[in-house]
Structures are given as structure tokens and as C-alpha cells.
């Protein structure tokens, strides 16, 4: 009886104090408490909150989430950042950390909760046009049509998000056709086909949530960006978008006949978790795997049940899917990611509009310099290696203060980016602060600079990053920019602006700029500018 | 308003947690509810957790004055890294791990109350395909077996499902491979390695470093080509049951896992599902090493108490007394498996597991 009272009291305390996740996996969510499971998780699990709220009532176990990306999570496991700070991890799959010995050894009891395959969703008319509605096609045919630009699609950055990573592995395995887990040698062999396939990717995102929103905004014409025919994502995301009913036409789900990679969401106790956490994990997973809760998960999140005997919903049009073998070794992952960024995907064109006004003096200008330098190869961490400027990328720097300075464009040739990276590094280290803040004159200048670059080579992922630490003080204002933006040539107007709030940057105005250009706001006011610059790489 | 709501919720929670304490497993009660039962703590392979958590098993031990509390660990970990000083018995799922513990603890005492042969869960269309390919044959007993020598030959060539002649039932572009667990972490993968290394070694238990080196290329491929593997045997078996043939056409399991589902008759074994025995197979011998007198009492009860034996059989385990298993399982499984071999020594198995895991 006494145990019961203590447990309940603690649960009540956590309910009253509430819970919010910090984005940094190193930031503790609090000390270990009975009845509380501190979980480092993939952000797509936010949709499980209603189920977990009910689970808390039924079991007395409260889940405290901290969200992070797939690679970041694996890295936090491998370098011990999770030790003592979390009781469990919950990602869409444990395949990535399992390939890193230092991360794998920290994984304890794993209990699968639900599953969702990574598949292709196409707008109904695109699926009909391609003859794929209600048909089974293989990745080979999908890659062939993609190579002909018969359709376009969006996908998340495979170094930031598991859906992109799974898609990359799935396509490579299927195209390799060897029937075993793909290895580095096979990846080299299928690189030409992978180039065809990813040539049709017209939208990249660091998170699955933003990708779906961007697809929808483009489909409805809210964003200036060109419409996209489809998305590669979890079946659950595609079905959820259809269920929400905000798309002009629903997505037709294409289940590749030669196989898929499926996320199975193992709620995984950490190996060093204490007895209370062990008990909480056991009770929570027992509850989540009861037939009723499995059905509730299916209804709420459109993920498939994993417990035998729970009948899958009719919406899962193809039930029996071939699962492609997934490489177990990290060198295979690394080879695939490296090939994707440096050889396979369409190259990026990235323009940085950088505030170097007087208010940037001191730590701020130092942060800006180091944030840029880390993108030139200084950051050798698991994630950093895949966030740096890539082979074939074209990078333009446009610093500004009272007026925009002269832009400088750097080319990073395929296979030999070192000289270009060194130039960017030297440029970043030479940034000096001083003068006023002409945000909109500089942004207008950025669009002017883009004009001839886009015209000369239109087939790139093109984007602008606008970083400022203050309010606009010189030259034209937001209203004038909005007016002039309308006369920007269409091809250039489609370039999104990813705005970075820093120091006293105006969140309202930068939000408007991001929204009108189809970009996104990133907040570096309370965090590391370097981390935000890395995060933005997922969208470039 | 918010506060009042939370207090209301707390009342609901209080009721829920009390219910857990009163009706839940006795180990939730931290000794408070144990009454005059003697608590015995053991560490077991996770395959037996459902058995020890079962209400009827708890009652059967209580009738003998015992309350058995268990932690789970992999059989490899049990034999190497788990601090056994905290426990009164260790109950790994294989004889090599048990022998290692016996040596380390300088004891000869052991109880082997039940065992289960390794088997393959599959589907009727797959059985037909593999029969046509000569890999599944009628064995010496009156049941179908997967001929491991034939299987090794097929996999050595890297044969894909869609390359099997006349295959319209499962034309997947992936290799014909039994889905196993991670050899670094799971006992079932170690048992599988025992079988395939025996066959690759010319039907002899691997016993020398030269033999280890000779069989390694053949057996390592069976794991490496699968790519990522899960760390518990429940994983592939659940995929088999819930996701079906596309994901897991052949799942390496303990016979007990399949029989448990068959005996439960909960509909999870569908009409097209089949259990194939391996020829040869090995038995996963669940061996209890007593570390104290009370631990020994648990081992003796499991081996001799008919009620506990019957309960073990309902979980699909083959009991010491074959009549108990036969009574419970009936014709749902062959009474005797004729083609069973012994696993290698713990040290040989360890070295092989390390080598295939890298």
C-alpha cells in the first residue's frame, strides 16, 4: 500500500509541473523518478501523445520526451551523453545505433510498439498518369521514371531523419538486386541508377513534419515553390495527410513490389537503467501492446499493429510487404550517406545573407565564424561529417551591414572540394563586424545575385539563409521587400529563405519572410548558432 | 481549475496503482505482500519470463512456500558479465552457458527441467517451394524437416527467392535466408550457429581452432547477408506472426514459441503457417544452476512437481517427463525428434559468435 501512495504522489507531481522537451539530447529532463520514463525520441512520436496520456492514466507511468534526430540520437548514445539522463530511447528503428558498437552496447530490452513502411505517395493524378494506381511496381521502374523526370518528389535528409535514411537504403538495396544487405562495393555499382532516382527529388527537409507541410502548401499554392508530385515517407504520414483532408487531391500509396524498409518503433530501455525504470518500461510496453491500445495506435497514428491477432485496418492497402535486408555495419551506412551527399543527389546552391553589423561584436561574430568554419570540415562528429558543404555544391556568401557587401561565390568541384572549403573557411574567419543593419536591401540583393546563377544552372537545390541579430535599421523595410518580391522572376522567386533568429532578431518579421518564400524560421537565440546552421543543412 | 482536474486525476491513478499492487505480480509488492513465502531471486534467459510471470506458476510455487523473483539476461551475458552473487539460481537457455557457469562457480549441480529444439516457422507456399528445391524433405521421423546441408548449398550460391524454379508464390528479390537474431546478443542465434557449424564441419561438432577457421566463411555469410538482425527471438517470431510472409518467410525460433501459440489457440497461428524442424537440430537445454539451497529447491520443483511440469508444457517446453509434454501437446508436435546434435563447448561457441558478429 505504501508503495502505491508514493508512486501516485510522484505521478501527480509530474502532472502538475508539466513536461516539455528540450531539443538538446545532452540537456537532462530531470532526475530519475519512479513512475517516470525519461525518453530520448524521434520527433515523429509527438503523435503518440494522446495514447501516452491514456497510458499514464492506466499504468501510472508518465513519459517525458526529449526529441532529436536519428543520427544525433545514435551519436548521443555512442558518446555517453544519455548515460544517467535518460531511461529509454524510442526511435523509428534501432538499426542505425545497432551498427555503432558504443551505441549498441547501451541498448537494453527492446520492445516493438508499432510499425510503418517507408513508401512512395503520389498525388492521385500523378499516380494515374504514371499508370501506377492500384498496380505493383518495383523500385527499378520507379527509378527509371524518376530518371526521365516523369514525376518529382520530396524526401527528408537521410542524415537527419529516419524516413530519408530508410528510403535511401531501400532504394539502394533494391536497385543493387543482390538479395543480401547492401555493402560499400554494391553502392558504387548502383550509383548511376541512384543518380537517376534522386534526380527527381525536388524537395528536401530536415524533418518529416516540415516536409508534409511544405508539400501541402505547394499543392495548394500557398508557397511560391513549384508543386511536387509526391513524397517518400512513412505510410503512416501519407495516410495521416489523407485523413486530415487538407490536400487538393489525396495521395495514392505506391508499395514497391521488390520491397520496403519498415520502421518498427522499439521502445528501448537503456542498459544502465535502474529497477524503477525497468519496471516502468515493462508496465508501459505491456500496456501499449494490449489489443485495444494497438487498435487505438492504429486509429490515431495510422501505424500498423505489431501484436499478432490485431486485425490491420483496411487503409493498409498492401499488407504483406517484402522487407529489404538492411545493412548492419556502419561502414555501409557511411558509404551510402557519403555517396548520397557528394555524388548522387542533385547538388545544392546555397546563399548565405549574413548580418555583420556592429551589434555582432564579440561572441556573436565569433559564433558566426565558427558556425561557418564547422561546415567546411572542422566538425568531424557523426552528424557533422554529413552536414558540411558537399562536393558539387555552390556556396555564395553575402555579408551585410549598412548595405550589402560584394557577394562571393565558391565552387566545390566533385571529388575535390578541399581548395573551395579552405577558401570558405578563410572567408568566414575574415568576417568583421561594424555598421548598421540593412536586412531587406541585402535580401533583395540576394535574389538579384541568384538570377544569373539559377539561369546558368537551374538543376540544383537552391536556397537562401538569412541570419540577423537585430531589427532592420537601414534601407528598405519589410513592406518594400514584399512589394519588390512580387516582381522577382518566377524561377528565382521559388527560392525559399531559411531565416535564423540570433541575438535580438525580430521573430515576427523573419517569420513573415520565411512564410512568404516557403522557407522556415530557425531560432538560435538560446542555442548554438553552429547547431542551427547544421540543422538547416537538412533543408538545403 | 487545472489543479482541481489534476487532483481528480490523482484519485483515478491511486485506484489504478493499488489495483496493480493487489493483483499484479508479487514482485511488484516489494516483499510487503509476500506473507510467509520465502523469496528466491534468480536470473533467467528471457524466453522463460512469460512462464515465471504466469499466475498459475506463481501459485504453484506459493503452494510450496516459495515466491520466485526473476531478472532476465541473455544466456551469453549470464555466463560472462552478470554478477551472479545477487542471485540464488541462474537459469540460462543453453547447455554451453550452463557448463561455463558450473565451471566458474565450481559446482556440478544442475537441473534440466525442460528443453526445446530449434525450429523454423514458415508458411505453406514456402514449404512447397523448398520441397521442390530439395531443401525441405520428409525426415527419418514422420514430419517434414529442413535439410541443413541442402540449405547451406543453396545459400552458398547466394540464391534469391526469385531464382527458385517455378516460383510464383514468393518471387522476392532477396536471398533465401533464415531470419535469425543477432549472434552477439541472443541464445537462439548461438544454437543456430551450433547447427550450421556442425554440418559445415562434415557432421562433426566443431572442436579445434582449425575447424573453426574452416567453417567460418560458410557460417558467417548466413548472418552477414541478413544485414541488421534483432536482439531477441521474440522479434523475428512476432514479425512472422504479425507482418507475415513478405517480411519473414523463414524465422528461426524455439519450438516452444510456436507450440505456446498453438496451445493458446488465440488465432495467431493461421491455417497456412507451418513449423519445420531442422535436420539436424540442437536442443536449447534450459539448465538451472543452483547457487544456494533455496535455488536448488526451485530447480528440484521444476524438475519433479507435476503441476509445474504441466505448466511448462503449456508454454511449449518439452519436459523431463515426456508424458507431461505428450498429455498437453498431443499430436500437435512429434513426440521424439530423432536427428539432434550437441552444441560445441562454450569457448568454441564464444569464439565463433565473436567471429561471425564482426
**Residue A107: closest CA among chain B residues belongs to which residue?**
B231
Q: In chain B, what residues touch A262 (CB-CB under 8 Å)?
A: 243, 247
Please write the tens of the pLDDT for every residue from B294-330: 999 999 999 999 999 999 999 999 999 999 999 999 9
Q: CA A95, A100, A105 angle in degrees (round to 5)?
A: 95
Q: What is the distance, to the nearest Å, from the Cα of residue A52 to the centroid of all Cα atoms in its chain?
A: 24
B228, closest residue in chain A (CA to CA): A328
Compute the distance between CA of residue B223 and CA of residue B211 in angstroms, rounded to an integer. 19
Q: Is B10 an 8 Å CB contact of chain A?
A: yes
* CA-closest candidate to residue A351, choices A450, A241, A280, A423: A450
In chain A, which residue's Cα lies nearest the Cα of B27? A279
Q: B234: pLDDT confidence band, cut at 50, 70 and 90?
A: confident
pLDDT along chain A (540 residues), means of 10: 38 35 57 91 93 97 92 91 95 90 90 96 97 91 94 94 91 87 89 93 90 94 92 96 95 94 95 90 96 97 94 92 90 91 94 97 96 92 88 97 97 92 97 96 97 93 95 95 93 94 88 95 91 93
**Do the Cβ atoms of B43 and B91 come closer than 8 Å?**
yes
d(CA B126, CA B113): 34
- Interchain CB contact of B265 with A (< 8 Å): no
Helix (H, G, I), strand (E, B) or coil at B286: strand
Bridge partners (DSSP) listed for residue B290: B89
Please enumerate, as own/partner, the contacts of A285-289 that have beta carbons within 8 Å and a separation of 24 or more: A285/A111, A285/A113, A287/A55, A287/A58, A287/A59, A287/A61, A288/A51, A288/A55, A288/A113, A289/A111, A289/A113
**Looking at the partner chain, which of A4, A179, A181 has a beta carbon nearest the beta carbon of B18?**
A4
Task: Tell me the average pLDDT across B237-261.
Answer: 95
- Residue-by-residue DSSP string for A114-140: -BEEEEEEEEHHHHHHHT-TT----HH
The contacts of residue A22 (CB under 8 Å, 6+ apart) are A29, A66
Q: Provide the 8-state DSSP code for A78.
A: H
Query: Which residue out of B11, B23, B231 would a mutagenesis test of the A interface target, given it has the greatest number of A Cβ atoms within 10 Å?
Result: B231
Confirm if A407 and A349 have CB atoms less than 8 A apart. Answer: no
Helix (H, G, I), strand (E, B) or coil at A95: helix
| Residue numbers in B near A177 (CB within 8 A) | 173
Q: Measured between CB atoms, which of B3, B174, B261 is closest to A324?
A: B174
Please, are residues B216 and A281 in contact by the beta-carbon 8 Å criterion?
A: no
CA distance B24 to chain A (A): 10
Give the one of A4, A110, A179 whose C-beta lies nearest to B160's C-beta. Answer: A179
CA distance A76 to A198: 30
| Contact A328/B at CB under 8 A | yes
Residues 410-469 of A with CB under 8 A from B: none
Q: Check CB contact under 8 Å for A174 and B173.
A: yes
pLDDT of residue A30: 82
Tens digits of residue pLDDT in B343-353: 999 999 999 99
Instruction: State ipTM.
Output: 0.82
Joined grid coordinates for residue A452: 544569373
Would you call B180 exposed, middle or buried from its count of C-beta atoms within 10 A (0-12, 13-18, 19+)? Answer: buried
The confidence score (pLDDT) of residue B35 equals: 66
CB contact (8 A) between residue B231 and residue A309: no
Angle among Cα B257, A325, B235 to the nearest 5 degrees reads 20
Would you call A326 and B173 a contact, using CB atoms and an 8 Å cutoff? Answer: no
Q: What is the pLDDT of residue B20?
A: 31
Q: How far is C-alpha B4 from the chain's CA centre?
A: 50
Closest partner CB to A179 (pick from B175, B243, B268): B175
The answer, for A5 touching chain B at a CB cutoff of 8 Å, is yes
Between chains, do B6 and A15 touch, taking CB under 8 Å as contact?
Answer: yes
Residue B21 belongs to what H/E stretch? Answer: helix B2-23
Q: Once rounded to an integer, what is the mean pLDDT over residues B3-30?
A: 37
A23 touches chain B (CB under 8 A): no
Q: Does A61 touch chain B (CB under 8 A)?
A: no
Helix (H) or strand (E) holding A530: helix A529-537
Q: Return the residue matching grid coordinates 527419418.
A: B140
Is the CB of residue A310 less than 8 Å away from at least one CB of chain B? yes
Amino acid at each position: 500500500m505504501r508503495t502505491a501512495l508514493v508512486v501516485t504522489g510522484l505521478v501527480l507531481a509530474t502532472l502538475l509541473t508539466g513536461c516539455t522537451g528540450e531539443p538538446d539530447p545532452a540537456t537532462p529532463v530531470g532526475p530519475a523518478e519512479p513512475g517516470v520514463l525519461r525518453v530520448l525520441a524521434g520527433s515523429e512520436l509527438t503523435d503518440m501523445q494522446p495514447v501516452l496520456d491514456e497510458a499514464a492514466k492506466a499504468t501510472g507511468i508518465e513519459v517525458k520526451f526529449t526529441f532529436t534526430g536519428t543520427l544525433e540520437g545514435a551519436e548521443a548514445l555512442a558518446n555517453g551523453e544519455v548515460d544517467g539522463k535518460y531511461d529509454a530511447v524510442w526511435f523509428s528503428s534501432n538499426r542505425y545505433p545497432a551498427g555503432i558498437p558504443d551505441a549498441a552496447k547501451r541498448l537494453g530490452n527492446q520492445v516493438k510498439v508499432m510499425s510503418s513502411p517507408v513508401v512512395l505517395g503520389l498525388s492521385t493524378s500523378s499516380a494515374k498518369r504514371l499508370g501506377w494506381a492500384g498496380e505493383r511496381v518495383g523500385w527499378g521502374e520507379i527509378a527509371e521514371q524518376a530518371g526521365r523526370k516523369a514525376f518529382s518528389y520530396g524526401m527528408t535528409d537521410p542524415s537527419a531523419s529516419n524516413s530519408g535514411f530508410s528510403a535511401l537504403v531501400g532504394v539502394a538495396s533494391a536497385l543493387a538486386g543482390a538479395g543480401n544487405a547492401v555493402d560499400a562495393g554494391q553502392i558504387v555499382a548502383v550509383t548511376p541508377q541512384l543518380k537517376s532516382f534522386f534526380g527527381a527529388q525536388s524537395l528536401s527537409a530536415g524533418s518529416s513534419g516540415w516536409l508534409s507541410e511544405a508539400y501541402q502548401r505547394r499543392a495548394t499554392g500557398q508557397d511560391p515553390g513549384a508543386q511536387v508530385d509526391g513524397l517518400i515517407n512513412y505510410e503512416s504520414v501519407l495516410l495521416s495527410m489523407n485523413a486530415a483532408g487538407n490536400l487538393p487531391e489525396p495521395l495514392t500509396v505506391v508499395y514497391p513490389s521488390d520491397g520496403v524498409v519498415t520502421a518498427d518503433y522499439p521502445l528501448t530501455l537503456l542498459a544502465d537503467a535502474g529497477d524503477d525504470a525497468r519496471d516502468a518500461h515493462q508496465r508501459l510496453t505491456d500496456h501499449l501492446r494490449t489489443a485495444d491500445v494497438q487498435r487505438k495506435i492504429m486509429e490515431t497514428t495510422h501505424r500498423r499493429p505489431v501484436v499478432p491477432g490485431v486485425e490491420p485496418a483496411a487503409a493498409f492497402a498492401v499488407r504483406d510487404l517484402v522487407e529489404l535486408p538492411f545493412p548492419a555495419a556502419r561502414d555501409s551506412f557511411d558509404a551510402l550517406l557519403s555517396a548520397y551527399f557528394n555524388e548522387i543527389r542533385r547538388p545544392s546552391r546555397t546563399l548565405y545573407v549574413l548580418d555583420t553589423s556592429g551589434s555582432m561584436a564579440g561572441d556573436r561574430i565569433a559564433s558566426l565564424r565558427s558556425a561557418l568554419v564547422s561546415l567546411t570540415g572542422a566538425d568531424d562528429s557523426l552528424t557533422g561529417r554529413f552536414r558540411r558543404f558537399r562536393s558539387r555544391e555552390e556556396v555564395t556568401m553575402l555579408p551585410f551591414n549598412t548595405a550589402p557587401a560584394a557577394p562571393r561565390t565558391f565552387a566545390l568541384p566533385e571529388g575535390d572540394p578541399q581548395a573551395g572549403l579552405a577558401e570558405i573557411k578563410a572567408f568566414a574567419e575574415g568576417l568583421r563586424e561594424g555598421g548598421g543593419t540593412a536586412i531587406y536591401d541585402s535580401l533583395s540583393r540576394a535574389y538579384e545575385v541568384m538570377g544569373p546563377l539559377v539561369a546558368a544552372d537551374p538543376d540544383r537545390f537552391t536556397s537562401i539563409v538569412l541570419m540577423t541579430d537585430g531589427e532592420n535599421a537601414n534601407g528598405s523595410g519589410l513592406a518594400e521587400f514584399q512589394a519588390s518580391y512580387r516582381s522577382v522572376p518566377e524561377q528565382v522567386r521559388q527560392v525559399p529563405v531559411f531565416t535564423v533568429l540570433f541575438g535580438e532578431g525580430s521573430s515576427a518579421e523573419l517569420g513573415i519572410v520565411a512564410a512568404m518564400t516557403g522557407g522556415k524560421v530557425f531560432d538560435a537565440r538560446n542555442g548554438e548558432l553552429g547547431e542551427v546552421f547544421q540543422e538547416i543543412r537538412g533543408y538545403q | 481549475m487545472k489543479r482541481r482536474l489534476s487532483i481528480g486525476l490523482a484519485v483515478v491513478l491511486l485506484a489504478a496503482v493499488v489495483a496493480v499492487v493487489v493483483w499484479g505480480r508479487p514482485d511488484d509488492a516489494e516483499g510487503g505482500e509476500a506473507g510467509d513465502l520465502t523469496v528466491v531471486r534468480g536470473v533467467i534467459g528471457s524466453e522463460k519470463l512469460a512462464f515465471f510471470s504466469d499466475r498459475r506458476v506463481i501459485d504453484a510455487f506459493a503452494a510450496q512456500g516459495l515466491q520466485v523473483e526473476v531478472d532476465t539476461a541473455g544466456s551469453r551475458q549470464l555466463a560472462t558479465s552478470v554478477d551472479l552473487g545477487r542471485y540464488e539460481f541462474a537459469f540460462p537457455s543453453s547447455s554451453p552457458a550452463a557448463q561455463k557457469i558450473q565451471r566458474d562457480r565450481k559446482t556440478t549441480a544442475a537441473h534440466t527441467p525442460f528443453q526445446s529444439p530449434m525450429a523454423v516457422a514458415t508458411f505453406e507456399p514456402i514449404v512447397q517451394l523448398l520441397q521442390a528445391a530439395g531443401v525441405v524433405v520428409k525426415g527419418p521421423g514422420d514430419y517434414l524437416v529442413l535439410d541443413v546441408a541442402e540449405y547451406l548449398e543453396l545459400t552458398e550460391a547466394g540464391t534469391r527467392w526469385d531464382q527458385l524454379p517455378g516460383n510464383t508464390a514468393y518471387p522476392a528479390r532477396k536471398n533465401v535466408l533464415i531470419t535469425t537474431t543477432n549472434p552477439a546478443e541472443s541464445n537462439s542465434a548461438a544454437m543456430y550457429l551450433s547447427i550450421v557449424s556442425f554440418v559445415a564441419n562434415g557432421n562433426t561438432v566443431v572442436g579445434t581452432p582449425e575447424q573453426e577457421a574452416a567453417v567460418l566463411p560458410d557460417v558467417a555469410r548466413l548472418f552477414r547477408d541478413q544485414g541488421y538482425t534483432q536482439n531477441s527471438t521474440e522479434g523475428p517470431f512476432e514479425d512472422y506472426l504479425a507482418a507475415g510472409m513478405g517480411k519473414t518467410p523463414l524465422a528461426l525460433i524455439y519450438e516452444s514459441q510456436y507450440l505456446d501459440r498453438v496451445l493458446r489457440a488465440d488465432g495467431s497461428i493461421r491455417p497456412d503457417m507451418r513449423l519445420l524442424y531442422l535436420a539436424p537440430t540442437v536442443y536449447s537445454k534450459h539448465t538451472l544452476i543452483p547457487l544456494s539451497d533455496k535455488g536448488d529447491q526451485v530447480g528440484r520443483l521444476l524438475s519433479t512437481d507435476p503441476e509445474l511440469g504441466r505448466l511448462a508444457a503449456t508454454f511449449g517446453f518439452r519436459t523431463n517427463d515426456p508424458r507431461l509434454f505428450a498429455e498437453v501437446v498431443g499430436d500437435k508436435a512429434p513426440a521424439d525428434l530423432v536427428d539432434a546434435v550437441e552444441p560445441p563447448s562454450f569457448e568454441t561457441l564464444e569464439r565463433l559468435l565473436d567471429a561471425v558478429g564482426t
